[in-house]
Every structure is written in C-alpha cells, then in structure tokens.
Structure 1
Amino acid sequence: MPFRESSPVEERVALFREYETGAFSVTELCARHGVSRETFYVWKRRRESGERRWFEERSHAAASCPHATAGRLADRIVATRQRFPHFGPKKIKAWLEHERPEVDWPAASTIGDILKREGLVEARRRRRRAIAQGEVAAPASAPNEEWAIDFKGWFRTRDGNRCDPLTITDAASRYLIEVRIVDPTGAGVRSALERVFKDIGLPAAIRSDNGAPFGSTGAGGLSALSVWWLKLGIEPRYIPPASPQDNGRHERMHRTLKAQTTKPPAATVAEQQRRFDAFRHHFNQERPHEALDQMPPVKLWQSPSRTLPRRLDDPWYDADHEVRRVRPTGDIKWRGEHVFVGEALAGELVGLCEHDTSGHLVRFCGRDLGLINCERRFLRFAPPRARLRIAQETPQTGEQ
C-alpha cells in the first residue's frame, strides 16, 4: 500500500480540526505540522474572517504598482507599433521622444514588455555569431566617402514578371540613395547611376561584390562599369569573395527592404517600384537608426561636392610610362607582339612602366592591373580587397 500524500491545503484544514478538539496547545500543533506560531495565527485570522476558501493561497502579486506605465502612454506605444510594425522598442522610444519630447516615455525594456503583453512581438531564434576576423580597413566616417551598391536578390511580382532591385546607400550616413528596378546588366546599372550622378553628385568610392556587372575575373577585377567609375575619379572597392559581412551595412538594409516591401510581392513591377519609393522616403526621413543615435539618415546626409562632368578625358600618365590604347579585342601592341590585358578596357589608354622584375606594370587611372613579364606574358592582378574594421561597427540586432 503506498504512503498517503497530503497537500498544504489539507494540512491547514487538519491543523485547525486538531485545534478545535482542545487536545493540543498552539505550540504543540505548530511542532506537529512544522509551522511557526506566526503562520498559525495568520491562517487563524483568515479562517475567522468568514472567507469561504480561507485555506487557499492568495496571489503574491502587488495589489498596485505606483511605477506602472500610464494607460494613455501604453496606448500611444501600441499605436506607434501598429503604424510602424517593423519598429522595435528602441526605435519606438526614439520616434515618440522626437514627436512628444515633453513626455517622460518609459525605457525601451518597458516598451518591449508592453509590446509582448499586447502580443505584438514574435519570438525569434537567436543565432550564435561567428568570431570576426580580418581587421584591415576602417569604415567610412563622412558622407560620400563611400557608397555601397548591390542587387537585392531578384524575385517575381504576382503577374510573373522578374524584378531586379538595384540599391545604393551611403556608408557613413546610411542614407538610401536609390532603389530602382533595372536590368541586371552593365548598361542597366550605368543608366541608373548616370541619373543618380546627375541629380546628386559623385562619391569618392563605391563598394560592391566581385560579380558582374560591378566586377570581373579580369585584370584588376575591373568590368566595363568599374572602368567608367575610375575615369570619373571613383575608386571601385571590392569585398573579399563570399564575404557579404564586409558590406554588412548594405546587407542589413536589404533585410529591412525585403521585410517591408516584398512580403508578399506587388501585383506589378510598377506597383513594386512605388513600394520601393515609399520605403526609401520612410527609411531616410522617418526611421531611427541605432548606429546614428536613433536619428534618421537624413540628419547626417549631405550631397556630394563633385558633379558629373560633361565629358570624360583619357587618363594622364607621366613621362615614366609608355602609353598604349587597348584594342576592341582587349589586347595591346607591345614590343612587336599582341598582349591581351582585358576586354573591359577596350578603347582605353593604359600606361606601362618598368618594374624591378625586368617586366612592365600595366596601369589604368592609377590602378595596377598586372605585369607583362620578359616573355611578353600578361600576369593579371586581383583587385585590392580590404576587410572592414568591424570591431568599430555597432553590433547588429534583430531590431535595427
């Protein structure tokens, strides 16, 4: 036969049944049941109060909380979240402080609790972050020091048409310069960039991945598009292969763009472009950014001082260089032989200067493209690839 088990409720009832017999003193009863005299008298007062279920535990929750957030503030927080469903607690707090600076808004953690209580927060699995490596270059610190360019992954609108959004951001201010649906070709990107350069101006550098149409596997990693950038005085900067984290600011913007404009896709390409235009205004003018002290990018953005020139001149080389024009087939005439240097440079002037190895360096607009050795063979160089010093970056959060 198993041992008999009892609950605290049954023990309290038994305690006072024994008390009513008068056979035991309070001290003896407390010793038999393992409670203090203070506990006995607490439950005795509960029993004598006439409460029907006196033997049950009461809630230990505070009856009132003088520091609780006022209902009107909680309602405003919930309304802001409903207006901007992709804002987290930090951005909601920054937005409300900008709109109503005279109000003492609760902390971001309290705002998060309010959103969770109202069912406005979805639990997200946290992934362990890999250890960062390769600190080489510092990120841009001023507007137009560096822009970032990329295609957000293509998708189809609901009518079945393919959509390739080209995105351009300023690295320092996070300003979203352009989101435009274009053909994913060198001509399509150049046409979009010409409009941007005419309307806004020229940056000092543009960071991109190594794929077409931004880069290539040819000399110096140059494509026809990046050759045009060099002639404009814009330095092409390529991230290491398979390293999207070295363009992390831009990739983070892509995640927000995808969440707010493509789930689900629009019915047509024209409607999708209108979504992108509305997102760009919201991202630049309204959305606080944690890395900018919760200011929107427009507060830091400044237009470039350099403008698009009316004509492009050939690059200049000093007297130490021999100059050759690249033929349409991508080769040059050198010491009586044809040496292939790259079709991306077709029609352009390159400079050749002597190198310590008895060969000649091939340069274009100050960038070393490769080496012609003594056997008249061209040894192409890979593009310089500098990793960002990510230790200075603001850690990415799911709320950014």
Structure 2
Amino acid sequence: MSLRMRLREGPVQLAPRLGIAPSTVHRILKGARMNRLSYVDRATGEAIRRYEHDHPGSLVHVDVKKLGNIPDGGGWRYVGRRQGERNRVATPDKPKNKWRNPKLGYAFVHTVIDDHSRVAYTEVQDDETAATAVGVLHRAVEWFSNRGVAIERVLSDNGGAYRSNLWRDTCEALSIVPKRTRPYRPQTNGKVERFHRTMADGWAYARCYTSEQERRDALTGWLHHYNQHRPHTACGNRPPFSRLTNVFGQYS
C-alpha cells in the first residue's frame, strides 16, 4: 500500500518491485479499494475514503458552477467558432469591451445537494456574491423542508461567499452548522462536483440552445428528471427521490 500511495504506479510496475505477479498486486489493491488512481488523493497519495451520511438533511453540499452565457443563435460548441463569433457579436443589449465586442458574461449555477439521497436543488444566477448565495440557501432550505428534509449541516469550499459573515450569520439563524473543505481538497466536496459534471453533460451542453434564456428554461425539466426518474448508482440504480419518503408527487 505504501508503494502505491508514494509512487502511484499500477500493478505491472509494482509487481517487479515486490517480486509477485501483477494479478496478485491487482487483487490486493482491489481489496483495499486502491486499484484505481482516482481512488488516491493526488496531493497526498492517501487513499480517498468514501462516506455517506445516514439520513437526508444530515449534510448538504453547496457549490457554484460557472458557465459562459450562450449568444443568440447558438454557441461555438455546436455552430462552430466562426459562426459562434458572429452570433456573439450580433447578440443585442450587451455591454461592449474595448474592442467593441459584446461581453456576454457568465451564468452561475448554485447547487445544494443532499449527501444521503443525492437530491439536488439548483438555481441559475448572474453572480456568486454572498448575498446571492444566502438567498439560494434560504430557498433551498424551504424547498427541502417541503419534502420532509431538515438541513442540519452545510459543507462548502473556501470561496469568498462562504467565508463571509453574512453566510455564517445566516446559517446560525437557520440552525445550520456551516463547514468548509480543507484548502486544495475539492474532492471533499466531491458529490456536488460530480453532480455538476452530470449536469453539464445532461443539460448545459446537451444540445444546441439558441439563446441563454432557452438553456435556463430547460433546467427545471432536466432537474426534475434527475431527481425523480434518472437512476443513480449511489442509490442502488434508483432515482434520488427514492431515498425520501412520503413526498407528494414523488414519482410523477
């Protein structure tokens, strides 16, 4: 185990060092859940330990995903860079940069995801300030409460909004314990990071949107599918809502 953590080598490379067959090394690493380098922390070489809180609301993860706004007519990912640039220049009612090209800005996707059930609450906002993050938290608490979930703890990264006095005071007023990840350890907040990758594939870049508003309008439908219909491996290949009980419209 120490060689795996220190050298980050695979069974074929470790076998000659140990004088045993690569298949034996693989079996040992698999038993210790270190057979994939993704299971090893790149900064420390230590094994990443998976965890899951035992009931909904015990811990929620929060984070923000930053996306470039889509110009009218479609973005470069689908229409190509040349046409995408034309669409960006033609998009009306946008401030200009020093080259007189419009600045489309960014969409900031704020997510609150439950550690136990993987049920997610998401909003698209135009910034990631403390005031905006606090507003999202208030609405998420109400949304989860309507589904029988009382939030006890919230885990965030070390972004400015989550280090602010406003965030701390709001959590105290809501009787929520705020926690932050260790610096340079984003994997501690890995559940929301993984959700954002799923969201990018399933919604943000899933098809050619002809405007930013069209993409934002599509989020509600995709989020409903994710929470109530899409099988999730962490939930035994059932949707996240299956881990909540007695929720109105749970399987609609």
Superposition TM-score tier, normalisation by shorter sequence: 0.5 to 0.7
- Compared with structure 1, are the counterparts of its residues 265 and 152 closer, same or farther at alpha carbon in structure 2 (3 Å cutoff)? farther
Whole-Å Cα distance in 1 between the matches of residues 121 and 244 of structure 2?
A: 10
Q: Are the counterparts in 2 of residues 161 and 268 from structure 1 also a CA contact under 8 Å? A: no
Aligned to 1:18: none
State how many pairs are aligned. 172
Whole-Å Cα distance in 1 between the matches of residues 208 and 239 of structure 2?
A: 26
- Compared with structure 1, are the counterparts of its residues 254 and 271 closer, same or farther at alpha carbon in structure 2 (3 Å cutoff)? same
The within-5 A match list for 1:254-269 is 254-263=196-205, 266-269=209-212
Whole-Å Cα distance in 2 between the matches of residues 144 and 237 of structure 1?
A: 14
Q: Are the counterparts in 2 of residues 158 and 266 from structure 1 also a CA contact under 8 Å? A: no
The within-5 A match list for 1:232-251 is 232-251=174-193
Determine which structure has greater relative contact order: mean sequence separation of CA pairs < 8 Å that are 6+ residues apart, divided by chain length: 2
Aligned pair partner of 1:224 in 166, 181, 185: 166
Q: Are the counterparts in 2 of residues 154 and 162 from structure 1 also a CA contact under 8 Å? A: yes
* Counterpart residue identity of residue 228, structure 1: T
State the Cα distance separating 1:260 from its structure 2 match: 1.7
Deviations 1:368-389 (A, max 9, x none): xxxxxxxxxxxxxxxxxxxxxx
Q: Are the counterparts in 2 of residues 182 and 189 from structure 1 also a CA contact under 8 Å? A: no
1:174 aligns with 2:118: yes
Q: Are the counterparts in 1 of residues 152 and 177 from structure 2 also a CA contact under 8 Å? A: yes
Percent sequence identity over aligned pairs: 24
Aligned to 1:29: none
Deviations 1:70-112 (A, max 9, x none): xxxxxxxxxxxxxxxxxxxxxxxxxxxxxxxxxxxxxxxxxxx
1:210 aligns with 2:158: yes
Whole-Å Cα distance in 1 between the matches of residues 50 and 231 of structure 2?
A: 27
* Counterpart residue identity of residue 292, structure 1: C
Aligned to 2:9: none
Aligned to 1:286: 229
User: Which range moved further: 248-257 or 155-164?
Assistant: 155-164
The within-5 A match list for 1:147-162 is 147-159=60-72, 160-162=104-106
TM-score between the two structures when normalised by the length of structure 2 = 0.60
- Compared with structure 1, are the counterparts of its residues 136 and 235 closer, same or farther at alpha carbon in structure 2 (3 Å cutoff)? farther
Whole-Å Cα distance in 2 between the matches of residues 180 and 303 of structure 1?
A: 28
- Compared with structure 1, are the counterparts of its residues 302 and 273 closer, same or farther at alpha carbon in structure 2 (3 Å cutoff)? farther
Aligned to 1:131: 40
Aligned to 1:146: 59
Whole-Å Cα distance in 1 between the matches of residues 63 and 161 of structure 2?
A: 10
TM-score between the two structures when normalised by the length of structure 1 = 0.39
Whole-Å Cα distance in 2 between the matches of residues 272 and 195 of structure 1?
A: 21
- Compared with structure 1, are the counterparts of its residues 137 and 262 closer, same or farther at alpha carbon in structure 2 (3 Å cutoff)? closer
Structure 2 unmatched ranges of 5 or more:
1-35, 73-103, 248-252
State the Cα distance separating 1:231 from its structure 2 match: 2.5
Deviations 1:150-186 (A, max 9, x none): 1012322224342111111111000012233342111
The within-5 A match list for 1:363-382 is none
State the Cα distance separating 1:144 from its structure 2 match: 0.6
Runs of 4+ in structure 1 deviating by more than 6 angstroms, as ranges, are 134-137
- Compared with structure 1, are the counterparts of its residues 138 and 288 closer, same or farther at alpha carbon in structure 2 (3 Å cutoff)? closer
The within-5 A match list for 1:304-343 is none
Aligned to 2:135: 191
Q: Are the counterparts in 2 of residues 168 and 179 from structure 1 also a CA contact under 8 Å? A: no
* Counterpart residue identity of residue 139, structure 1: E
State the Cα distance separating 1:229 from its structure 2 match: 0.4
Q: Are the counterparts in 1 of residues 107 and 124 from structure 2 also a CA contact under 8 Å? A: no
Whole-Å Cα distance in 2 between the matches of residues 225 and 189 of structure 1?
A: 8
Deviations 1:123-173 (A, max 9, x none): xxxx84252437789531210101111101232222434211111111100
Q: Are the counterparts in 2 of residues 181 and 273 from structure 1 also a CA contact under 8 Å? A: no
Q: Are the counterparts in 2 of residues 205 and 235 from structure 1 also a CA contact under 8 Å? A: yes
Structure 1 unmatched ranges of 5 or more:
1-126, 216-221, 305-400
